[in-house]
Structure 1
Amino acid sequence: MMLERGVARRVAGTGLASSRTRFEKRAAAARRRPRLVAGVLVGIVLVAGFVAWLGWFSSVLTASRVEVTGVPAAAAAQVRSVAAVPLGGPIMRVDTDEVARRLVDGKAWSGVSVSRSLPDTIHIDVIPRVAVLAVRNPRGQVDVVDRDGVVFRSVASAPAGVPLVSAGSDQVTKAGVTAALQALGSLDSSLRADVSGVALSSADQVSFTVQSGERRKTVVWGGPGDGERKAKLVKILLGEPGSTIDVSVPSSPVTR
């Protein structure tokens, strides 16, 4: 009996010691945890500070070149010139938003993206505007416009393959560009070859002249919409008397 009691006391003592040891280990771990977290945070701050110093103040990460994509190599020089990226200083000090603003203000590109590429490159990606119309404005200048009606270049004469129209105002709208393109695109090739004097009014209304043999008629096309129907009416009404064909309201065409 006494032997059993001694064994029981030793077992109980061992259990208490084991529990105390586990408790002390957990307590020690709990005391170390804040120090570990603090150490990690300090490390992150130091690394961030070092990276900031490299990018903003040191000569290690210096903006030394500009890479341009989206245009042929011959046009990249123009992009670099307009972008005017300041080189030779810390790359993080290059204001990419300001560089992008200069390019957008240049109007030659419909999309612009400017980013930093460590260690030394400013990357510029552009989407050039595409000429769809050449518009002779009331001052006699020829403006090249894209599908949105944005004038992005002035030239002495219309670029090859770009239709020339005369505008009744200095401002060309997207609706006006759409109407002019639709008018020219809806006519079949044989009739389009006889078209001249395409005009776009300030109200986005299109008109043009058709000269076929002895016949010379003015066509009042109107605004965008019903292009196919209008084109069929023009072809039919060319043989009718009168010098003007008005299909601006295709449900009620008029010749006069």
Structure 2
Amino acid sequence: MSASGPRTPGSGSAARHRPRLDSPRPAAHSRRGARTHGTSRDRHRGRPSNVDQVPVDDQEGGDASRCTAGNSEAAAGRHAVAAPATPRLIPRWLPWFAGGLTVLGLAGGLAWVLLASSLFEARSVEVLGVQEIPAEVVRMVAAVPLGTPMLRLDTTAIEARVAALPRVASARVRCSVDGTVQIQVTERTPVAVVRRDSAMHLIDATGTDYETVPNAPPGLPELQVPKVGPGDARTAAALRVLTAIPGWLRVQVRSITATSPADVVLQLDNGRTGTSREVRWGDPGQVERKAAVLGPLLTQPGKIYDVSSPALPTIA
């Protein structure tokens, strides 16, 4: 024993190394919870505390791990340095401008080829559909300017010049890539003649008087109406009947008259006796039925055959 007396428990070096029983070591979750507040030193220096990196209490389960991962990525994003943007050397409008110039250049080249070059110019004229009119007459009247680019040809004017010929009913102009200008002609076809001043005039199906001939062509009947013309109702009615009746009946017609649009009369040639027979046709309607009724009637003797009412035909 020392002179100073007995040592008290807890004194000396042994007391310094003896574990304290009254101060148990805090649990792991307590320490984690304590760190969530950060240190006062961190708060004073502006440093981020560990609250964003430490998971919450284990009782929160899987949500704590997800929160930790999200916070870690957010923290990493705050410290990431953005890469410098690459400077744009070509303006955005330049490709569009270049494309527009290209299109304009191609369009200009195509226009030059079609309008100014000799690749698509008129080189020859071909006349189609003529029988009575000489083709050279059509070419001369058409007056197609050879050597002119196809797109510059006034086809409407060419058609009008050709259609002005008396025998031409219509004309149509077409241009081909080989430089040929085709003129399609539709000639007038005579269906009757009209006697005027001791001369015969050819009449087509529209009632147009288009040519004078010294004598009536064989097979054409004489049209007898007060005023022949495309706008005359009596002319239209007579020609409608004449062009609609069957061929066996048409070849027998010597003349056709119409005192009104509803009173058409046919004069038939009786080849056996040299006399004519009269057929009162009436209006232009029911052509097929009237012709079917007239056929058997003509086998019977008579001078006047009335089929204006095909249900009640008569012979006189």
CA shift, 1:234, in A, is 6.2
- Ranked by relative contact order (alpha carbons within 8 Å, sequence separation 6 or more), the top structure is 1
- Mapped to 1, the partners of 2:118 and 2:188 lie a distance apart of 41
CA shift, 1:111, in A, is 4.9
Map 1:155-234 onto structure 2 (within 5 A).
Answer: 155-159=213-217, 162-168=219-225, 169-171=227-229, 173-183=235-245, 185=247, 187=249, 195-201=252-258, 203=260, 205-211=264-270, 213-214=272-273, 216-231=276-291, 232-233=293-294
CA shift, 1:208, in A, is 0.8
SS of structure 1 residue aligned to 2:242: helix
TM-score under structure 1 normalisation?
A: 0.65
TM-score under structure 2 normalisation?
A: 0.55
Any conservation in 2 of the 1:220–1:246 contact (CA below 8 Å)?
Answer: yes
Partner deviation per Cα, 1:159-212 (whole Å, 9 max, x = no partner): 56x53333323315554322013345363xxxx66x352223364524213426
- Mapped to 2, the partners of 1:174 and 1:38 lie a distance apart of 65
Q: 1:127 to 1:202 in 2, by over 3 A?
A: farther
Which of residues 195, 201, 205 is equivalent to 1:142? 201
| Number of the residue aligned with 2:41 | none
* Root mean square deviation of aligned Cα: 4.0
> Residue type matched to 1:236 in 2?
L
- Mapped to 2, the partners of 1:110 and 1:35 lie a distance apart of 59
- Mapped to 1, the partners of 2:254 and 2:268 lie a distance apart of 6
> Residue type matched to 1:93 in 2?
R
Q: 1:185 to 1:38 in 2, by over 3 A?
A: same
| Number of the residue aligned with 2:83 | 17
Q: 1:217 to 1:45 in 2, by over 3 A?
A: same
Any conservation in 2 of the 1:134–1:159 contact (CA below 8 Å)?
Answer: no
**Comparing both structures, which one devotes a greater share of its residues to helix?**
1
Map 1:67-106 onto structure 2 (within 5 A).
Answer: 67-71=126-130, 76-106=135-165
SS of structure 1 residue aligned to 2:160: helix
Any conservation in 1 of the 2:297–2:305 contact (CA below 8 Å)?
Answer: no
> Residue type matched to 1:104 in 2?
A
Q: 1:165 to 1:12 in 2, by over 3 A?
A: farther
Any conservation in 1 of the 2:200–2:216 contact (CA below 8 Å)?
Answer: no
Share of identical aligned residues, percent? Answer: 28
Q: Which has the larger radius of gyration?
A: 2
CA shift, 1:95, in A, is 1.1
SS of structure 2 residue aligned to 1:80: helix
> Residue type matched to 2:204 in 1?
V
